[in-house]
């Protein structure tokens, strides 16, 4: 809560929080510890908007066959994780079309050179040179529009999103300097685990790298996946002392097994436990940690219409603010008669 002087009287203003997630379906541990945990905390105090950014997904999708199912599964995971539609606004980006108009307007103050130097854009061009579309170049402008449309000030994201956030700040700064102060400059909010490495021990945990564990995975899948996870690359034999500081399984333990972390570290270093034991312990900790989540998800699955109700109500609440901001933007740009 912040205090502002308004007509000489101090009034409370709630900070606006915005985050967007591409509709990747069921959420993984990277999404949960990298962002959702902050979203849960922030909804207790601030005015939060959590959005499924379906239009962003179109920049890289070959087809949209599973899009609605992915949106449904993602929102179900959020709700089961504790995102509460009575405390925040949960909605789908394309249900509030004002964002596309703001995208167009902000694109006019965004130099192309800023977009061409974005690391994720360069990487996508390298990986898929045959699929570099106009929408992909404008991805960060659409992301800025998401945040700016709701005058977002705090943006819970993982570390991979920092270059996008920096660009969003530059775009709104440029807009404000030309047309007057309309938008706040958004700040990224990271968790204590801003970049979770996947089970391959090298790349960021993601669906595309196929190195992830879904938070709602069945216990047997969790055991199977962790069973083949990469551990300490310097430890060859069971009797060799381990090096927790370079072992990704140990890093994952820090999220799930905090009470016993010193014991695991000691036992690994003196070869009291082997990597297989260590992974079995991790699997059981992950299963236990997400037990209540799996139960809540099952409950919600029996009410499939609930997700639709939540996002319909979310779009209604988001639209009100979107329309207000867009009118303000148009007035600032002298677009109104």
Q: Per the structure block, which two tokens stand in for 335?
A: 């677009």
Given 87, 204, 254, 280, the catalytic residue: 204
End-to-end Cα spacing for the chain: 37
* 174 scored as a contact of ligand AMP (CB under 6 A): no
Which range, of 30-38, 60-68, 249-257, 282-290, touches ligand AMP by CB under 6 A? 30-38
Residue 232 near residue 263, CB atoms below 8 Å: no
Q: Can you tell me the distance from the alpha carbon of 68 to that of 304, in angstroms, rounded to the nearest whole number?
A: 13
* 231 scored as a contact of ligand AMP (CB under 6 A): no
Taken as a whole, the chain contains a residue count of 337
248: partner contacted, choices ligand TRP, ligand AMP, none (Cβ within 5-8 A by kind)? none
Residue 248 near residue 197, CB atoms below 8 Å: yes
Q: Is 224 a catalytic residue?
A: no
* 279 scored as a contact of ligand AMP (CB under 6 A): no
Taking the complex as a whole, how short is the minimal distance between the CB of residue 258 and ligand AMP, in angstroms? 18
Toward ligand TRP, which CB reaches closer, 18 or 212?
18
> Which residue's CB atom is positioned nearest to ligand AMP?
34
155: partner contacted, choices ligand TRP, ligand AMP, none (Cβ within 5-8 A by kind)? ligand TRP
Residue 315 near residue 92, CB atoms below 8 Å: yes
Toward ligand AMP, which CB reaches closer, 215 or 315?
215
Q: Give the residues lining the site for ligand TRP (CB under 6 A).
A: 18-22, 53, 56, 143, 146-147, 155, 157, 161, 164
Q: Can you tell me the distance from the alpha carbon of 132 to that of 294, in angstroms, rounded to the nearest whole number?
A: 39
Give Rg (Cα) of the chain: 22
Taking the complex as a whole, how short is the minimal distance between the CB of residue 19 and ligand AMP, in angstroms? 6
Whole-number Cα distances in Å, 222 to 117, 164, 169, 206, 219? 38, 32, 39, 16, 5
23: partner contacted, choices ligand TRP, ligand AMP, none (Cβ within 5-8 A by kind)? none
* 34 scored as a contact of ligand AMP (CB under 6 A): yes
DSSP 8-state secondary structure symbol assigned to residue 183: S
Given 124, 151, 189, 279, the catalytic residue: 124
* 255 scored as a contact of ligand AMP (CB under 6 A): no
Q: Can you tell me the distance from the alpha carbon of 154 to that of 35, in angstroms, rounded to the nearest whole number?
A: 12
Given 122, 151, 189, 207, the catalytic residue: 207
* 206 scored as a contact of ligand AMP (CB under 6 A): yes
94: partner contacted, choices ligand AMP, ligand TRP, none (Cβ within 5-8 A by kind)? none
Q: CA-based angle 230:235:238, to the nearest 5?
A: 100
* 161 scored as a contact of ligand AMP (CB under 6 A): yes
Q: Is 236 a catalytic residue?
A: no
Q: Per the structure block, which two tokens stand in for 121?
A: 């854009």
Q: Is 330 a catalytic residue?
A: no
Q: Can you tell me the distance from the alpha carbon of 264 to that of 250, in angstroms, rounded to the nearest whole number?
A: 8
Q: CA-based angle 73:27:43, to the nearest 5?
A: 90
Residue 44 near residue 172, CB atoms below 8 Å: no
* 147 scored as a contact of ligand AMP (CB under 6 A): no
Q: CA-based angle 24:207:314, to the nearest 5?
A: 20
Residue 13 near residue 4, CB atoms below 8 Å: yes
Taking the complex as a whole, how short is the minimal distance between the CB of residue 241 and ligand AMP, in angstroms? 29
91: partner contacted, choices ligand TRP, ligand AMP, none (Cβ within 5-8 A by kind)? none
* 205 scored as a contact of ligand AMP (CB under 6 A): yes
195: partner contacted, choices ligand AMP, ligand TRP, none (Cβ within 5-8 A by kind)? ligand AMP
- Residues designated catalytic: 124, 204, 207
| Residues forming the site for ligand AMP (CB under 6 A) | 21-22, 24, 30-31, 34-35, 157-158, 160-161, 194-196, 204-206
């Amino acid at each position: 809560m912040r205090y502002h002087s308004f007509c000489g009287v101090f009034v409370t203003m709630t900070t606006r929080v915005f985050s967007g997630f591409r509709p990747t379906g069921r959420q993984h541990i990277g999404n949960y510890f990298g962002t959702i945990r902050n979203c849960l905390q922030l909804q207790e105090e601030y005015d939060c908007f959590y959005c499924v950014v379906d239009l962003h997904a179109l920049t890289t999708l070959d087809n949209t066959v599973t899009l609605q199912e992915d949106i449904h599964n993602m929102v179900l995971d959020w709700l089961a994780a504790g995102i509460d539609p009575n405390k925040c606004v949960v909605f789908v980006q394309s249900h509030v079309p004002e964002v596309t108009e703001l995208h167009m307007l902000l694109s006019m103050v965004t130099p192309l050179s800023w977009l061409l130097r974005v690391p994720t854009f360069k990487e996508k061009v390298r990986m898929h040179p045959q699929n570099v579309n106009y929408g992909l170049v404008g991805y960060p402008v659409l992301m800025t529009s998401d945040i700016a449309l709701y005058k977002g000030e705090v943006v819970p994201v993982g570390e991979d999103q920092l270059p996008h956030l920096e660009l969003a700040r530059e775009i709104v700064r440029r807009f404000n300097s030309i047309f007057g102060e309309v938008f706040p400059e958004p700040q990224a909010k990271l968790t204590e685990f801003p970049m979770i490495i996947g089970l391959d021990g090298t790349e960021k945990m993601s669906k595309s790298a196929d190195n992830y564990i879904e938070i709602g995975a069945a216990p047997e899948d969790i055991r199977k996946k962790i069973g083949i996870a990469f551990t300490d690359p310097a430890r060859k034999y069971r009797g060799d002392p381990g090096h927790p500081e370079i072992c990704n399984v140990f890093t994952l333990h820090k999220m799930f097994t905090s009470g016993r972390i010193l014991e695991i570290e000691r036992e690994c270093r003196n070869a009291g436990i082997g990597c297989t034991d260590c992974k079995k312990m991790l699997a059981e900790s992950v299963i236990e940690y997400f037990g209540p989540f799996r139960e809540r998800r099952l409950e919600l699955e029996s009410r499939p219409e609930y997700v639709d109700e939540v996002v319909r109500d979310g779009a209604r609440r988001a639209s009100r603010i979107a329309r207000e901001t867009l009118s303000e933007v148009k007035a600032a740009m002298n677009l109104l008669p």
